[in-house]
Amino acid sequence: MPPNTSEPLLELATCSISFGGLKAVDSFNLQLFPGELVGLIGPNGAGKTTVFNLITGVYKPSAGQIRFGGKLLNGKKPYQITACGLARTFQNIRLFGNLSVEENVKIACHLHYQTSLFGSVWKGKAYREEEARQHQKIESLLEVFGLKQLSREKAAGLPYGQQRRLEIARALATDPKLLLLDEPAAGANPQESRELMALIRWIKEKFKLTILLIEHDMQVVMGICERILVLDYGETIAHGKPEEIRKDPKVIEAYLGEEAV
Amino acid sequence: MKRLAAFIGFFLLFLLANRFLPEIIDPYYLHLFTLSCINVILAVSLNLINGTTGQFSLGHAGFMAVGGYTSASLTFYLGPKIIATLDFLPAILAKNFVFLFALLGGGLSAAFLGLLVGIPSLRLRGDYLAIVTLGMGEIVRVLILNVEAIGGARGFSDIPAYTNLFWIISLTALTIAAVASLTASSHGRAFLSVREDEIAAEAMGVNTTYYKVIAFVIGAFFAGMAGCLFGHYLQLLHPNSFTFLKSFEIIIMIIVGGLGSIFGAVVAAVILTLLPEALRYLGPVKDWRMVIYSLALIILMITRPQGLFGNWTPDFRRWWPFRKPQPVA
Amino acid sequence: MQEFLQQLVNGVSWGSIYALIALGYTMVYGVLQLINFAHGDVFMLGAFFGFYFSRWTKIAQEPTLFGFFATLLFAMAACALVGVIIERAAYKPLRERPRLTALITAIGVSLLLENGGQLLFGVDPKFFPSLISETRLYESANLVISNLPVIILVVSLALMLLLRFIVMKTTIGKAMRATAFNREAAALMGINTNNVISFTFLLGSALAGAGGILVALTYPKIDPLMGLLPGLKAFVAAVLGGIGNIPGAVLGGMILGVSETMVAGYISSTLRDAIAFALLVVILLVKPTGLLGSRVGEKV
Amino acid sequence: MRKWIIFGLALSLSAGCAKRDDVIKIGEYGSLTGTTATFGVSTKNGIDMATEEINAAGGLLGKKIQVIVEDDRGLADEAASAVKKLVTQDKVVAVLGEVASSRSLAGAPICQENKIPMVTPSSTNPEVTKKGDYIFRICFIDPFQGEAMAKFAFENLKVKKAAILKDSKNDYSVGLAQYFAETFKGLGGQIVAEESYFEGDQDFKAQLTSIKGKKPEAIFIPGYYTEVGLIARQARELGLNIPLLGGDGWDSPKLTEIATLKKPGDALKDCYFSNHYAADDPNPVIQDFIKKYKAKYEEVPDAMAVLGYDAAHILYDAIKRAGSPEGAKIRDELAKTANFPGVAGQTTIDSARNARKPLVVLKIGEGGAYEYMATVNP
Amino acid sequence: MTDNNFILEVKNLCVFYGGIQAVKDISFGIKKGEIITLIGATGAGKSTTLRAISGLLKPREGEILLEGRSLKNIPPYEVVKKGISHAPEGRKIFANLTVRENLELGAYLRRDKPAIGQDMERVFGLFPRLKERIKQNAGTLSGGEQQMLAIGRALMSAPKLLLLDEPSLGLAPLLVKAIFEVIKEINAKGVSIILVEQNAYQALKIAARGYVLETGKITMTVTAEDLVTNEELRKAYLGG
């Protein structure tokens, strides 16, 4: 099944977590290889976002192991996990609403910031050089996402679609190897969805990313994912190429329904 | 190099101010200026915790008290000994050296308390954090009441009058400059991200734990120095000066100024220090002073809920005449 | 042993006063998420309303049970009115604003009531008439139980049950909970959220008024700043129990009262407040939402 | 409109008054608002009465006295602001205030620096007058009252085991308690319990229960009447029926009013406190003062009013003797004050600028009436 | 536009959020018993229009007429009384209340107990899942169940006109289908419905007309037939 036989970039082995007795994710396994674009789908409450939260350290798994590039992620804080090269977006957009577009992205750059607290108060030469470098990086990122003209706007004031894009741009500013996208197409109309698909494909090549994607929009999922995992009630019910998933009777019954095919 | 020259320039300027201002300006106005500056330091430092980092702290008076009492103990008990060993220096230098030592001692002790108070902020949010910081402040006050060596309920009197205009002006300038510079840097944006959305900040690689605690530490450090200036100005520290009402006063300043705006905090600190004093000149309705003060506060909040300056900070560099012209975007 | 029992009685009766005031705090907080710092001052007004009412009506001279209830009702009604006026004038314009703004306004209202009270009632303490005279319910060499603390305890518990009933079982209670959860959605249900909020203030302030009278009976020295400290402590009690939670307010009040008493009685009376606050800090560190408070975990 | 014109006229008139040279300006600072406002207001009443008396009798040095009052909200930094304003803006010739030692300590250095005499009516902390030779006090200092009551308890009441309940937030109370304990132990007595409360507290049962368990024969409560009334009630409610002792902070008509269980003042029956004067003293100075005070303020004066009244009179007397509103001269005359016939006793200022005067011990009897017990000379 | 058949008419509506104009001079109408749908990209002003109708936002200009009478300056809780019920975007159910209490709140203004009971049974008829969970706190429901509850709650006020804001948002395809079935069923019982949808294809299939909004303006009025005939349209807004 895996497209190549190299070491997996991300590996979840029998991960479980429950909330108040309810198994949200049960013995979940996932192997993600460098350069892949994998989709994670399933009905509401199936535990998709929980998987993201496990990977990014928001929740601690009650059992199982999470490895990234061979390194164990269990017990690491979210910011440490991000520092390993893992970035995400959120289902309900979580931008820094009162800050400008530029500042939003700059905060994500902070991860690789060298200047000390004192240095940034004194604002010496090294500081200014670093700020300049940071500024350049951000400029080019915003350019790519078509947000450059808006860089002084308050993030909360942007239209929804641009907020979604800004969130992805912000995640990219942490220089990730793996990008986790949580329903990037939610609320987009078909036209916007198509643009988004193109964008995702493009950044994947440009930034040499591996991408894991949660999405309800079947056009997007089927259109860009190389592999798809289907979750229901915390368990993986199907796994395969898009065309296989589309025909899987279990998936149709639990999730897709007859007509959507 | 230019920066260093500017520092030396300011140093000399402040020394001159210290020498000549008292002769030009009415002592009462000088007194109000001093109190305003102390409140400016308090407001700007609290603004870093409360406005920039979004940690609702009601314990600033506690930091001020710890800084004030620590520094007063240093100058009162250790000061004479240090001055005696520094007898090769002119007396005025020795005195000011002791005061610098006391300022640092006061600031650092408050910063240590800030570290202790910062730790609960990792688990607590909003009103719960507010009440814990308030509790910490009250604990500090009650403990001070119980220590006879620093005066207990009688207050710590006979503190040497080391605070002068030079220290007042330079520490106020330092506080504003340091906090403003920090806020405008990448670290400053990390503070802001904690305020805006902690979960997203963590996901973007910001160590929110570190920034929350460090905000408390830095804020407390400056508040501690303010306490030191306060004690060595009044020559007296009394536990009653550091009740939760004092913390409320500082909170009011930063919100009236506009939460998060350093410029607003400075202006509001000055206005709110001067207002009760200005109301002394009301004449026949002088008894209504505090009623008018509280009414003014309510009306201001209703008519300008975002504070006087909202989030706005003027770009002072724009007014700097020697600035390099920037390319028009 | 009897001394310990006596201290327990002292603590419970002191705690029930915290509980009584904390109930009003918690009500308002539950619906508006506003720390109504003026609550302690409305409590003070309750005592003063009762004081002047009982003097003007001459109830003070010849106390009767009827007179007591008349005074109580008058104080509750007057405080309810004041509470609604405060809400409409000072808090309502800030409803859509950040909570800190409303909090500062609340501090402003509190300062206004305190300073205005000092101008209006004078700064000297007043003696509150004994509308109900102190009698001893139980007495031995080392254990005395009087009627007033028992009355306060019973009233606090009764009010707690009543409030819980109102909030959980009645239509207005449902409307209150809906308003608390999401004001806009509540309005879409046809709930006049402004009225619901005013009603909450009315209820909370009436409670404060009743508290003022009951406390003034037991501690008959009243002055315009009498609400400051009990107000703060009651707020601490409400947070301790989990703010917004009605039984939590009573539990928090009791814990605070008993622990303060025990600390003062057995450890050190100078450290009483320090230890009370230390207890608060420890409890909140262990359970960050207070003893009975619950918070729906933030959805990521 | 007319109202506004009158208001404007009144304003300009009052402003005009302030500028005239035919007044002697005296500054007064005190807590007119805040938690200790009741003491500041009483003091102000006493000062106002003394001022009116002098002005009615033709004033001082041919001029009227104008007292400029500034509120300090009970805060040390505001006290400093108030004194700074009085001294440098209003250019007062002398300052009266403050009740609390902490605020006097904040104001004193400013007066000293500007060579303006300051007379505090009731700050008992010995440190206050050590601030300089322009700072005076006309009340007892802590050791005197504490020692006197300790002696009275041990010798007159034959108490061997005493307890102390002090206000830890109040330096006056802490000071008295300290000297009481030292003297009482020196005499051979035993302090079985030392408990404390904070000004503004309402419930004292925990401390009282604990004290009760130690079985003392008397409790020394050197607090203010604002709390002592409640303490007495609660002590009796707990069945603690031993004498309570206190200092001049007790002296107020409110005390016995609050300490009422069944009959007025019954919770304090057979309790003792030290005071400046006895209300039943036939001395005309005292009787006259009480009568006039009652007529003016419709209540019985408390200790603060008496001390404010005396402080003002002692200051005015010194100005009269100095013959000039000059600070140094007033200071010299204040220092020479001897056997001034104040309401609060024959006052003499000693070389440390503290007052030396006798105190009286009063007993609270039936219906809250005070009975004279003894006079103690310094 | 004086047709008395219109249950609701919107005339020249302009709505501002702060300084930003979210809705620019739009007019449309819905007849008794109709379903109409507002479609368009996020931020086009669809939700804003609904919020103006239900009184949550005050229009700066224009008129909203319910059965010929203006709704100007009528607060949201009065609008409910007049027969408009709004199931807002993001469901906004009361998570700390039980399912039953949520439904009861929907009928907050009604005093006719027996009829309320009947209506509740009807809601359970439409959504049997809700009946199973009647005593649960609404916060514990899954996303789909919460959406059912939001619609059911809106029905409890026995509205003449139902405003549904993105009922299919974030739902699995299977559930989306079910929800649209229910919407048809509700309409069949005589309730007029204004439906705001991302899923324009599904929405237009059950609606009489669709109004396409673009940056606050109505740019087109479309019907289900247009899906077949207008290629441009299909590409731009309706997908596939």
Q: Which residues on D lie below 8 Å from B280 (Cβ)?
A: 70, 82, 85
Chains that touch D (3 or more CB pairs under 8 A): B, C
In this structure, is the dihedral angle defined by the CA atoms of residues C155, C157, C159 and C165, taken in order, positive or negative? negative
Number of folded domains in chain B?
1
pLDDT at position E4 is: 61
Interchain CB distance below 8 Å, B153 and D169: yes
Q: At what angle do helices B60-73 and B208-234 cross, to 10 degrees?
A: 50
C265 CB near a chain D CB, below 8 Å? Answer: yes
Closest chain C residue by Cα to residue B56: C100
Separation between Cα atoms, residue C183 and residue C189, nearest integer Å: 10
Q: For chain E, what is the domain count?
A: 1
Residue of C41, C85, C104, C269 to mutate, interface with B, max B Cβ within 10 Å: C104
Q: Do chains B and A touch (3 or more CB pairs under 8 A)?
A: yes
Taking alpha carbons only, the member of A194, A249, A202 closest to residue A222 is: A194
Residue B127 in contact with residue C32, Cβ under 8 Å?
no
Please, is A145 exposed, middle or buried when counting C-beta atoms within 10 Å of its C-beta (0-12, 13-18, 19+)? buried
Q: Which residue has the tokens 């919770």?
A: D267
Q: Is E105 an interface residue toward C (CB < 8 Å)?
A: yes
B35 shares contact with chain A (CB less than 8 Å):
no
User: Which domains, ranges and CATH numbers included, belong to chain C?
Assistant: 2-286 (1.10.3470)
B148 touches chain D (CB under 8 A): no
If phi > 0 it is left, if psi is from -120 to 50 it is alpha, else beta; for residue D34 that is left
pLDDT of C79:
97
Task: Say whether residue E206 is in contact with chain A using an 8 A CB cutoff.
Answer: no
> Cα–Cα distance between B275 and B296 in angstroms, integer?
10
**E160 in any annotated domain:** no
Element (DSSP H or E) covering residue B24:
helix B2-24
- B255 lies in a domain? no
**Between chains, do D81 and B290 touch, taking CB under 8 Å as contact?**
no
Domain ranges of chain D: 2-140+285-357, 142-275
Going along chain A from its start, the domains and CATH numbers come out as 10-99+176-256 (3.40.50.300)
Burial of A3 (0-12, 13-18, 19+ CB in 10 A): exposed
- Chains B, E in contact: 3+ Cβ pairs under 8 A? no
Does residue A42 sit in helix, strand or coil? Answer: coil
Residue E90 lies in a domain: no
Q: What is d(CA D25, CA D36) in angstroms, rounded to the nearest whole number?
A: 26
At the fourth CATH level, which superfamily is domain D2-140+285-357?
Response regulator (3.40.50.2300)
Range of the domain at B136: 28-242
Q: By the CB < 8 Å criterion, does A18 face chain C?
A: no
Residues of chain D with pLDDT under 50: 1-19
Mutate to test the interface with A, among E198, E199, E220 (most CBs of A within 10 A): E198
Phi first, then psi, for residue D297 (nearest 5°) are: -110, 0
Q: Tell if the CB–CB gap between A53 and C299 is shorter than 8 Å.
A: no
Highest mean predicted confidence (pLDDT) among A95-99, C19-23, C74-78, E134-138: C74-78
E156 found inside a domain: no
Q: What percent of chain C has pLDDT over 90?
A: 55
Q: What angle do CA D124, D250, C211 make, to 5 degrees?
A: 115
Percent over 70 (pLDDT), chain B: 94
Residues 6+ apart with CB under 8 A from E18: none
Name every chain C residue with its beta carbon within 8 A of the beta carbon of A90: 300
Report the residue of chain E nearest A22, measured CA to CA: E140
- C174 at the E interface (CB within 8 A)? yes
Residue B190 lies in a domain: yes
pLDDT band at C62 (very low <50, low <70, confident <90, very high): confident
The overall longest dimension of chain E from CA atoms, in Å, is 52
Q: Does the beta-carbon distance from A110 to B187 stay under 8 Å?
A: yes
The answer to whether residue B10 sits within a structural domain is no
**Cα-based angle A188, A55, A228 (whole degrees, multiple of 5):** 55
- State residue D315's pLDDT score: 96
Mean pLDDT over each residue of chain C, to the nearest integer: 90
Whether A257 contacts A43, CB under 8 Å:
no
Question: In this structure, what CATH number is given to the domain that contains residue E60?
Answer: 3.40.50.300
Cβ separation B192–A121 shorter than 8 A: no
Tell me which residues of chain E have a pLDDT lower than 50.
1-2, 240
CATH number for region D142-275: 3.40.50.2300
Residue B14 tokens, joined: 């402040």
Q: How confident is the model at residue B167 (pLDDT cuts 50, 70, 90)?
A: very high
Residue (of A210, A234, A249) closest to A2 by Cα position? A210
A205 CA to chain B: closest CA distance, Å? 22
ipTM of the complex: 0.90
Average pLDDT estimate for C225-232: 89
Query: Low-confidence residues of chain A, pLDDT below 70?
Result: 1-5, 257-261
Output the pLDDT for position D8: 47
Can you give the pLDDT at residue A96?
93
The bridge status of strand E6-17 relative to strand E61-66 is antiparallel
Q: Which of D85, D102, D168 sits opposite B145 (nearest CB)?
A: D168
**What is the model's pLDDT at position D242?**
94
Percent of chain C with pLDDT over 70: 98
Average pLDDT (C159-168) is 91
Chain D: residue nearest B288 by CA?
Answer: D33
Q: Which of D42, D168, D226 sits opposite C221 (nearest CB)?
A: D226
Q: Which of E108, E141, E162 to mutate to test the interface with C (most CBs of C within 10 A)?
A: E108
* Residue among D90, D171, D173, D174 with most chain B CBs within 10 A, to mutate: D171
Q: What is the pLDDT of residue D3?
A: 47
Is the minimum CB–CB distance between C299 and chain A shorter than 8 Å?
A: yes
Nearest to C94 among B142, B290, B301 (CB): B301
Measured distance CA(E138)–CA(A68) in Å, rounded: 37
Do the chains contact at D76 and B284, CB–CB below 8 Å?
A: no
Using a CB–CB cutoff of 8 Å, tell me whether D124 touches chain C: no
Q: What is the pLDDT of residue A115?
A: 85
pLDDT at E188: 93
Mean pLDDT across B144-155: 88
